[in-house]
Amino acid sequence: MKRQYLEVPYPERGAAKRLGAQWDPQARAWWVPSPAPAALYARWMPPAVGEGPLTTVRLLVIPEDCWKCSAQTSSIVGVLAGEDEESFVPFGEELARAIAAVVTPAELALLGIGELRPRWSRSGAAVMSNGCVRCGVVQGAAPLQDALAGHISDDGTYAELEVARVNLRLPG
């Protein structure tokens, strides 16, 4: 079963632990053991995704070798919200949540993409990130942005990076 991860600020880790939250050292995140009264953890639940209309978007990925386990894994760098290149929406917190709300980790894995979920950054905040499809470790945002910028500056197009079309509620 998929773990319900929490977004617990570092100073509140003791409070989360006292309520029974479990630490996942690989994910570097707290999670809720089930069955658990969800209300106890409500303040740390990731925000719900909005109620906007569904848009068919093209999911864009860059394949790379995981820095930790060397498996080939694809990371999401953004979406095209329409047919033209101008409709590019870069990967970010809200877009990642919108994708994770409609595509399961198992479905992403079929596309060679690792799980999207909050992972701890060095600043101590939980940030939605790409993970390795095999070992789950975070795939850093900066190298992905560099790879995307390199692709575009080599006359590549966003459309070439499409792996799937999905219906989601785009962040407003």
Give the residues lining the site for Zn ion (CB under 5 A): 66, 68-69, 71, 132, 134-135
CB 33 to Zn ion: min, Å: 26
Nearer to Zn ion, 111 or 135 (CB): 135
Nearer to Zn ion, 15 or 71 (CB): 71
CB 139 to Zn ion: min, Å: 8
44: closest CA among 5, 14, 101? 5
Nearer to Zn ion, 96 or 132 (CB): 132
What's the number of CA atoms in the CB half-sphere (13 Å) around residue 13?
12
CB 62 to Zn ion: min, Å: 15
CB 113 to Zn ion: min, Å: 12
Exposure pattern of 141-156 as b/e (b: 16+ CB <10 Å)?
beebeeebeebeeeee
**Helices and strands counted in the chain (H then E):** 4, 10
3-state secondary structure 80-108: ECCCCHHHEEECCHHHHHHHHHHCCHHHH
Nearer to Zn ion, 19 or 135 (CB): 135
